[in-house]
Every structure is written in structure tokens, then in C-alpha cells.
Structure 1
């Protein structure tokens, strides 16, 4: 607490490291966003060259989706868009930028091989 001339200040302070871009997996761009898809795409090209793929979608409230190419190496973009369309797109407002944490876990079970 800092005192001076009868004034009291109470300060809570915290900070953490951020990474650029400020999301790691998927960014959804709502229709009529002030951040156009071309502007965001150019920014990503400068920050993370060849790191994200722009996927244009035909949804009433979503203009485009930026998907980390690491995810695309694990599953097809059509499946990713289907999941987002079902679970996330209904909650996207016009003009909104939405960060999506989309973690893919791959597992195998009952692997049988002849030796």
C-alpha cells in the first residue's frame, strides 16, 4: 500500500508472456469484421509465414477461418469446418473475431500385426 497526503493506493499486478499471433490453433472471422480477411492474412504471413491456412466458408455469420497447418496435417479441413459449423459457428456474432482452442489427440487401440 502506498500512502501520501491521506491517499491510499492498493495495487494488484500480474503479467504473463504472450505469443504472436495471440492464438495457436484456429481464428474465426465473423462477417463484416473491422479486421478484413486479407489484412489478417497479411499479418499472419509476416508473423508466422506459411503457418495458417485461410478457409472461406459459406456461413451466414462467418466469413473465414484461419487454421494452423499443424492441425491440417492431422485431419482434413472439411472435417474441421464441419465440427466448427456444428459446435462454434452458431455462437459467432457479426464482426467478431473468435479464438478457438482446437487440440487434436490421436490414439490407436487394438493394433494387430502379423510378425
Structure 2
């Protein structure tokens, strides 16, 4: 009979930020408070391309009004984990008129040791 003696669970996250372009979406869209397109208009645009695949998360930040994120990412890691990371890194380059798209790759690693 095998028994588990050690468990280890890690997540490796790679975040890539670029300027907004057409087509507009990757995994994340960071919308500035004075961006030419607001979060609701961005959601409508996204829903045309990928219905019900993205969620708008409004945040409190000096320059950023909202994060629009692919729901599949939120199935892998919680909002409480992902949003602060996106805001921290995106907030370094975003100004209030910015619309930034971000590509995010999440790799979950699980390691276990068992007794034989």
C-alpha cells in the first residue's frame, strides 16, 4: 500500500504586457480610468469576439479602472491571487489613458513523494 508523505503545490506565472491593438484581446485587458474605451464598451467588444469568456473586475487604483480577464484563468487561480499580480505589474507602466493587453501563461506544478 502506498502512502503520501510529502505534498508540494506551486504555480509559475508568466505575464506579458503590450500595447492595445486589433484584434484586441489576449488573456487580460487593463483599462485606464480615462481610456478612450471604458470597461463596459470593452466587454461588449470582447463579447462579440468571444461571448461569455471574459469577466470585468473593477479595481481601486490611481490609474486603472478595471481588469477584463479570461474566465478560464480564474478557474485555475483565484481573483485574489491573479488581480493583485496584474495590478502590481500593469500599474508600473499603465497611465490613466492606457489600454493594455496582457498574455498570461499559468503552469501549475505538483510534486508528491510516496512511500513504497
- Give the total of aligned pairs: 95
Work out the CA distance in 2 between the residues paired with 1:40 and 1:103: 22
Q: Structure 2 matches for 1:33-48, cutoff 5 A? A: 33-48=35-50
State the superposition RMSD in angstroms. 1.8
**TM-score of the superposition, structure 2-length normalised?**
0.74
Q: Structure 2 matches for 1:31-110, cutoff 5 A? A: 31-110=33-112
Give CA-to-partner distance per residue, 1:29-63, whole Å, 9 cap, x none.
Answer: 01111111111111112211101000000001000
Does the 8 Å CA contact 2:30/2:90 hold for their aligned counterparts? no
**TM-score of the superposition, structure 1-length normalised?**
0.74
Flag structure 1 segments of 5+ consecutive residues without an equivalent: 1-19
User: Rg: which structure is higher?
Assistant: 1
My pick for the range that moved more, 43-52 or 82-91, is 82-91
Flag structure 2 segments of 5+ consecutive residues without an equivalent: 1-21
1:22 aligns with 2:24: yes
Shift in Å, 1:86:
2.1
Structure 1 outlier segments of 4+, above 3 Å: 111-114
SS at match of 1:90: coil
Q: Greater strand percent: which structure? A: 2
Higher relative contact order (CA 8 A, sep 6+): 2
